[in-house]
Structure 1
Amino acid sequence: MSETAKNLKLDQSQEPKSKKKGFQLPHVYIIFLIVMLLVVGLSWIVPSGEYARVADPNTGAMIVDPTQFASGVEAKPITVFDYFKALHNGVVESAGIIVMLLLASGSIHLLNKSGAMGAGIQALIRVSGGKEIGIMLILAFVFTLMGTIGLGEGGIPFIPLVVSVAVGLGFDRVTGFATYGAGMMAGFTAGVANFYSTGISQMLVGLPLYSGMTFRIISLLVFFVITAVYLVSYAKKIKKDPNKSVMAEDYKEQLATVKHAQEDASASLEFTTRRKLALFGLAATFIINAYGPVQLKWGIPEMSAVWVMFAIVLVFILRLNPSQTAIEFGKGAGAILPAALAIGFARSVVLLMNQAKIVDTAVHGLASSLQGQSAIVTLLLVFLSVVAFNFFVVSASGKAMMLMPILGPLAQILKINQQVMVTLYQFGDGISNQLWPTSGALMAGLAMVKIDFKAWFKYVWKLQIVLHIAAFILVYIAHLTNYGPF
């Protein structure tokens, strides 16, 4: 393989050279440290409180008993040492997903290093004349399907790949990330078969698992259409005028760099049978890791194992030197470590809130404020509260375990359909996952492809508004049509 072929990967790991203008957000680690300080401050203002926990008859998990809340319970004060220990503990508690990302990144790095990814992207570019938008929409739909089964962080390893494709097709990095992130958001929010939001929430209020699927599919289509129209509009706009990109300076430099690289290496990156087999193996890995959690009840260890198996298969397919492959695997894993740590630091915020025992207080305050309100006001307040609460507790399953035991009985009192309340919860949870900077998965993904959160926010804030409005309209329609069983 020529030196040019080795170097051409349309790799997104290089630092963008865009000129920094105006206010720059601090590094993601600093953001989490600031939010952690905010939690410490709240611990001195918000009184500690705690609900009694009981075993859920459906799942066996310990859930909130909404009838037993104790205010002013003793909580361990957050010391300076506790503040910094939370970083360690957050990373430890997130170790499963972090390790999977390291293993997946190492495997994908091997694919990039071999030239298989670059050759595949070049082949795609050659046949994409006039079809670039269609390719991005197909990819967005694939990630939407991933989101419907709740894959979540499991899709993070694919971010550099889809961004590479977007850059190769002449779009900016944000278009590539939006293809993944906004697509995943649409699917995760609709939650057709998302156990982490829909499944757990339905089980906690006694609904049949994945019941009401027809309405969720309709919601999925609505979210995907809105997301796709927004994505296409932006992609066409920047193609016509690169200055309208939210990363304009970086985008213009990228266009010149990619064009030069393609001209230099187009002849040297042959799309051989072995490289095709390697990419087929990547697709197979993708499918297996989507199928396993849903049909085989896999967890993170099984998904991680598939990535390691893929790396070993690449050694045989591409005839790689085993020892050199091990070295490169480590380099690939190390490249993602800074981004992966963001997931652990995000977890640290929740740990401090739990130590101060202010999470249950916030939930109790929400429930108390809703007493005596009309159904429509309750729906709106709950929706906005879940969106706001998602800033501190991003985990869909974690919030469900805290909120649904409260929202379920509240729905019964106000004669609101339980299925409607579950839908409202999952919509309030899912959309803002691509908005709040406290989302470890979002910040890790942005860091992987060197996209500043400020640039991402410029792209996504209008879409967020439209999606939240559409989501609440869907919730209100569900309420008016008495969607699903009580």
Structure 2
Amino acid sequence: MATASDELAEPKRFRFPTAFTILFGLIILVAALTWIIPAGQYQRVMNEALGREVPIAGTYTEVEPNPQGIFDVLMAPIAGIYNPVTNEANAIDVALFVMILGGFIGVITSTGAITAGISKAMITLKGREKWMIPVLMGLFAFGGTTYGMAEETLAFYVLLIPIMIAAGYDAMTAVAIILLGAGVGVLGSTVNAFATVIASDAAGVPFTTGMTLRLVILALCWLACVLYVMRYAERVRVDPSRSYVYDLKEENEQHFLAAYRTEQQPEFTTLHKIVLAIFGLTFVVMIWGVLFAGWWMGEMTALFLTSAIIVGLIARPGEKEFVDSFINGVRDLVGVALIIGLARGIVVVMDAGRITDTILHWAEVSVGGLSEVVFINVIYWIEVLMSFFVPSSSGLAVLSMPIMGPVADFANVGRDLVVTAYQSANGIVNLINPTFAVVMGALAIGRVPYERWIAFMWPLLLILTVIIMACLSVAALI
């Protein structure tokens, strides 16, 4: 038993700050910069395609400074959600959408439909476990590309790891199926509210713009991940000593297979099929509404609330259980909603301090001589760097897109392409990011040391980087 003196003697490990601390620190930093950076402003003109005013290149002039103080810093997170001074809504519609979406996912999860569906797929493919890899990675990628499936995947590791070990593979294979499956879906987000939708909103473009390119990136990167994992899995099955966790093989078999033999697999009922059909149909209706009915945050929020109620009426868990599952789902995403307001608070301080256009002017000057291809790849690597410090996709979106979006206008590159560069960069970093709780949690459950995950991942990271940069470059030329 550890004593108090032992705990005092044990050196404290460095823990990377959370996204909340990072973003609030950035608010303080930006407020300090308003005392240093010259204030300036562009002339603006209405862009009918975007439905908003955009800066006119070459019209930047310096204006009277308005440095931000302590009170402004404390008000910034509140004003990022709803500005009590101007009565202007900044992120409250997005924050509410995120929370209702969380409630919807909570209700779906509480029915057991997702777990039962995956279990059914495993049973169907028994004896052909190799083909579970593309099937499961496809299912997880769908979750990633539609609603940013991340923390929700942690429940599936204890279900999949013993099955893959029993099939002659290893824990690394199972972790890769789930972590890469959902991760590549986020990397190639299509209707993901926590990446594409928020980033597009912050950049001032419809999130459906650029969808074709994102689908291409999703398909190519998913295929690369599937082939990579299948190749590794087959190599381990033929020669177990080639496993990255071979030294843990006996220990993992004792730990995971014992639990698997005693755990009853869930039945895939008609109710589960109906719930999953409603789940998929909801996203189809959302896409239709945005494309053809002029829907935006309010209508999409109402859609997910309606779908949650429909699932509750069909599953009939009871009024209290339904409300509890919905509230628990909302609770899981309250942090995301707060991050949106906190990150937009940075923009509030920058705008109030009149330095946003100055930074934009510096960016305009710095990319002035770059070709479209070089520009979009520079943006990609800037977002890669920023993703290590702000792993939250929603936090990084509202932090960087208000600046990067307008900069694209000066470089003659579509803002939607900048959004795609951002989400691809954030997605690929979060496959290995040690500041991303999902990565570290998954590796802990799978008993995979972090350095071995990096050894497994680095060739794939190079392949994915080439695919992404090639797609961005081709899109910039078109």
TM-score (norm 2): 0.69
Answering whether residue 316 of structure 2 is matched by residue 319 of structure 1, we say yes
Query: Which whole-Å CA distance do the structure 2 matches of 1:199 and 1:85 have between them?
Result: 23
Structure 1 residue aligned with 2:262: 263
Q: 1:148-163 counterparts in 2 under 5 A?
A: 155-156=147-148, 158-163=149-154
1:231 and 1:367, CA in 2 relative to 1: closer, same or farther beyond 3 A?
farther
Deviations 1:40-94 (A, max 9, x none): 34334432222111111434411111131012x2343221222122222224433
Contact 2:76 2:345 in 1 (8 A): yes
Aligned residue pairs total 419
Alpha carbons 1:183, 1:227 under 8 Å: kept: no
Describe the shift of the 1:264–1:436 C-alpha distance in structure 2 as closer, same or farther (beyond 3 A): closer
Instruction: Say whether 1:29 aligns with 2:28.
Output: no
Unaligned runs of 5+ in 2: 1-10, 83-89, 162-172, 391-395, 444-448
Give the superposition deviation at 1:354.
2.4
Structure 1 counterpart SS, 2:58: strand
What TM-score do the two structures reach when normalised by structure 1? 0.68
Q: Which amino acid aligns with 1:265?
A: Q
Could you tell me the percent identity over the aligned residues?
A: 19
Cα distance between partner residues in 2 of 1:254 and 1:46: 59
SS in 2 for 1:68: coil
Corresponding residue for residue 13 of structure 1: none
Amino acid at match of 2:159: G
Alignment partner of 1:345: what SS?
helix
Give 2:73's match in structure 1, choosing from 83, 105, 117.
Answer: 83
1:368 Cα shift?
2.1
Distance in 2, Cα, partners of 1:406 & 1:341: 32
Q: Is the partner of 1:137 in helix, strand or coil? A: helix
Pairing partner for 2:300 from 299, 303, 306: 303
Q: Distance in 2 between matches of 1:55 and 1:49?
A: 19
> Could you tell me which residue of structure 1 aligns to residue 138 of structure 2?
138
Establish whether residue 404 from structure 1 lines up as the match of residue 408 from structure 2.
yes
Structure 1 CA distance, aligned partners of 2:67 and 2:425? 30
What pairs up with 1:317-466 in 2 under 5 angstroms? 317-371=314-368, 373=369, 375=371, 379-381=373-375, 383-385=377-379, 387-388=381-382, 391=386, 394-395=397-398, 398-399=402-403, 401-408=405-412, 425-426=418-419, 428-434=421-427, 466=463
8 Å CA contact retained: 2:113, 2:268: yes
Unaligned runs of 5+ in 1: 1-19, 409-417
Q: 1:90 is matched by which residue type in structure 2?
A: G
Aligned to 2:64: 74
Letter in 2 for 1:260: A
The Cα shift of 1:427 comes to 5.0
**Alpha-carbon distance, 1:469 to partner:** 4.4
Match in the other structure for 2:180: 178
Q: Deviations over 1:222-250 (max 9, x none)?
A: 444445455657878999799958xx99x
The residue aligned with 2:123 is 126
Distance 1:263 1:297, change over 3 A: farther
Asked whether the equivalents of residues 214 and 420 of structure 2 are also in contact (C-alpha less than 8 Å), the reply is no
Inter-CA distance 407–199: structure 2 relative to 1 (3 Å threshold): farther
The corresponding residue for 1:414 is none
CA 114–211 in structure 1, closer or farther in 2 if over 3 Å, else same? closer
Judge conservation of contact 1:56–1:63 (CA < 8 Å) in 2.
yes
Could you say if the C-alpha distance between residues 470 and 57 of structure 1 is closer, same or farther in structure 2, counting changes exceeding 3 Å?
Answer: same
Superposition deviation, residue 318 in structure 1: 2.0
Alignment of 1:108-257 (within 5 A): 108-129=105-126, 130=129, 131-139=131-139, 142=142, 146=145, 155-156=147-148, 158-165=149-156, 167-170=158-161, 175-187=177-189, 221-229=219-227, 256=255
SS of 2:41's equivalent in the other structure is strand
Whether the 8 Å CA contact 1:175–1:235 is kept in 2: the answer is no
Partners of 1:211 and 1:434 in 2: how far apart? 17
Counterpart contact for 1:49–1:361, Cα < 8 Å: yes
* 2:103 and 2:328 in contact (8 A); partners too: yes
Matches of 2:343 and 2:108, distance apart in 1: 30
2:34 is aligned, of 43, 64, 70, to: 43
Structure 1 residues 184 and 386, CA gap change in structure 2 (3 angstroms):
closer
Deviation string for 1:198-236 (max 9, x for gaps)? 9999999xxxx96996x8876665444445455657878
- For residues 262 and 81 of structure 1, do their structure 2 counterparts lie closer, same or farther at Cα, with a shift above 3 Å needed? farther
The aligned counterpart of 1:412 is: none
